[in-house]
Structure 1
Amino acid sequence: MTFILFFTAAIIVIVAAIQLNKYGDVINQKSSMSGAMVGTFLIGGATSLPELTTSLTAVYIDNPDIAVGNMLGSNVFNVLILMSFDLIYSRKRVFNKIQERAHLPVANTGFVMTVLLVFAIFLDNSPSYFNIGIEMYMLIILYLFVVRKLDNEEEEIEVNSNYTLGQGITRFVLAAAVVFIAGSTLTITGDAIAEQTGMNASFVGSFLIAASTSLPELVTVLAAFQMARYSLAIGSILGSNLFNLQLLVITDIFYQKGPILSMTSISNAMTAMLGLMMIFLTIYALQRPSIKNRIIYMLPASLTIILYFIATYMMF
């Protein structure tokens, strides 16, 4: 029964995520928001909703490893999704076709935020205020900074949707609600399946549940690539990662036994460092000059995928 619920929820998440991307594109066409803005803050935030439920549930059952591992693992898996599609669509030279200035501030901020988390996990007893780690306050400041600094340049968008802006917003919100409910079900059943297999909490949070809750990102990126909305795809992944780290702040607020990063195992630092290496390769792909040779172009994506599977094997 658990497996049936898991796969049913997965199918619903996939269908809802397709609609999320569709109506996000309507908002992109009918409003003054750029593809980077829509992807980073609207789609990125909406597709992160399952992660919030997962981590708050983990806090409730007093399992900080799953709570933290879910967020860090989701960020790693999100970058894996982006780079996998970049590899599949390597003939398109996706990173050569987007405006790097619209995405570099978000990618750089994500890198700095992850560095802070690595230090906090290794310190094991970082300073805190009101039982919330000081690094969490810094995450909020960095997020507010990038929101203000994100480049929102005019883009030439072909308007081909028959929906109005109001219809696009309403249906986007409804799709986000379905993603939240189905994604939460996916998380709960995935956790139950994981317990039956006897895998450790850090691995479950960082890889199994993280992969499950990243299904909305997988589908939205696929749909965006198929529509050649590459800025929307990259923005949704980078934005989702930033949003996940803000959800980690919420998780720390609810975990009142102390700074949550001080209560997690060191294996979560390995996940965070893997994330750092993968974000670094993404930043490199964003700002390198245009490359005609397909093999050379594919290197960052290929290295990202190799790193992910090596780390997965080591943690397992």
Structure 2
Amino acid sequence: MLDTIPPIALAAIAILIGFGGLVWSADRFVAGSAAIAKSFGVAPLVIGLTIVSFGTSAPEVMVSISASLKDAGDLAIGNALGSNIANIGLVLGATLLIAAIPVQKHIFRHELPVLLLVTVISGALLYGGVLSPWEGWLLLALLPVLMFYLVRAKQKELSPAEIDQEQEDIPEMPRPRAILWFAIGLIALMISSEILVWGAKTTAEYFSVSPLIIGLTVIAVGTSLPELAASVMSALKGHHDIALGNIIGSNIFNLLAVMAVPGIISPPIMEAAVFNRDYMTMLAITLIITAAIAIVLLRKNSKGTTQLGKGTGFVLLGCYVAYYAYLFYTN
């Protein structure tokens, strides 16, 4: 029966099933992981800043591993860079059109400098056109170091009420059930990523485009769906203050973990456009949001506001649309 279905139709079905499976399994994986950590006495703040904040990047990690094992490292690189562009341009831009987002000082003091540092380091590694195993291990080694710094920094910044809020965000469940959901989520993540990567590679071959382009577009947007859904729902519920920190945390994780995987497993040889077009776009949109946050904090002295608003949202969405229009026009 499957022989009668065109390959591109099967690929489209696989992509839809893969995306749906990734969104559901990432939610179960994060809930189980956080509950297990809580049952072993891990501090809620640590859980919130690591497992919960970076859990929405679980789809990107699994897709990166699956693609690298299939010698499609360029798809994995495209996934990492494209997801970061989508997180700021699409996710944050769309969220700002729904509700203004308060800017907390610790974001500018700690999270943003770490993101800028990681962005510069990743650019230096991508500049040569090859991401070697030692460069992949370097990125991965930076992850626990920078996470330790962010946890310690946030411990000093947060009030007792904010720390209590972190604890309320962690699900309560018995340890056996948490372990079960962790296992189910992990297995479903692996299966969903395999299905998605197969569909993406088949689509790339059918349309005669490189896996890099599929990674930058279809895969990047699809794996950013958890961030988009979480941010928009938070804004609609009035909890929009968490959106900015989650997006910055996700982008840090994408560069240190998602991009490290292909370098470690199957070092890709990248075309010049990866740095000249895609990395530079990611850098530019990261600098735009950094400048917007700096301006908002400086204006507080005269106008008493520390919120990013619709103007910033339109700029970010405009940059996102312009990048993708250029991408499709040139390919």
TM-score range, shorter chain: 0.7 to 0.9
The letter of the residue matching 1:106 is E
Determine the C-alpha separation between the residues in 2 that align with 1:148 and 1:293: 28
Aligned residues: 301
* 1:101 Cα offset (Å): 0.5
Decide which of 260, 263, 270 is 1:252's aligned counterpart. Answer: 263
* Aligned counterpart, 1:307: 319
Inter-partner Cα distance in structure 1 for 2:206 and 2:89? 27
Which of residues 53, 60, 72 is equivalent to 2:62? 53
| Partner residue, 1:89 | 98
* Contact 2:73-2:262 at 8 Å conserved across structures: no
1:123 matched to 2:128? The reply is yes
> Aligned partners of 1:141, 1:162: CA distance in 2, in Å?
26
Please list the CA deviations of residues 93-146 of structure 1 after superposition, one character each: whole Å capped at 9, or x if unmatched.
2134xx3305752332222222222233333479x6xx423x752663365134
Pairwise CA RMSD: 3.9
Task: Report what 1:284 is aligned to.
Answer: 291
Amino acid paired to 1:310: A
Q: How does 1:69-218 map to 2 (within 5 A)?
A: 69-90=78-99, 93-96=100-103, 99-102=104-107, 104-124=109-129, 131-133=133-135, 137=138, 140-141=141-142, 144-150=145-151, 151-152=154-155, 153=158, 154=160, 155=162, 157=165, 164=172, 166=174, 170=179, 173=182, 176-177=185-186, 178-218=188-228
Q: Is the 8 A contact 1:109 1:142 kept in 2?
A: no
Deviates more, 1:157-166 or 1:113-122: 157-166
Q: For residue 213 of structure 1, report the CA deviation from its aligned partner.
A: 2.0
Residues 1:235 and 2:245 are matched in the alignment: yes
Q: Is the 8 A contact 1:38 1:232 kept in 2?
A: no
Taking the aligned partners of 2:283 and 2:111, their CA distance within structure 1 comes to 14
The AA in structure 2 aligned to 1:280 is L
- Cα distance in 2 for residues equivalent to 1:61 and 1:233: 34
SS in 1 for 2:238: coil
- Alpha-carbon displacement from aligned partner over 1:29-76 (angstroms, at most 9, x marks no partner): 998534xx5554213432222222332333333333222111111111
> Per-residue displacement from partner, 1:138-171 (whole Å, max 9, x unpaired)?
6633651343233132305398799636469558
- 2:250 is paired with a residue of what secondary structure? helix
Question: In percent, how many aligned pairs have the same letter?
Answer: 19
Quick one: distance in 1 between partners of 2:233 and 2:181? Answer: 15
Secondary structure of the 1:157 match is: helix
- Aligned residue for 2:165, secondary structure, equals coil
Q: TM-score, normalised by structure 1?
A: 0.76
**Structure 2 gap ranges (5+):** 1-9
Shift of the alpha carbon at 1:207?
1.6
Deviates more, 1:200-209 or 1:267-276: 200-209
Corresponding residue SS for 1:265: coil
Consecutive unaligned residues of structure 1, counting only runs of 5 or more, are none
Calculate the TM-score normalised by the size of structure 2.
0.73
Q: What CA distance in whole angstroms lies between the structure 2 residues aligned with 1:69 and 1:235?
A: 23
Larger Rg: 2
Structure 1, 277-286 or 170-179: larger mean CA deviation: 170-179
1:33 matched to 2:44: yes
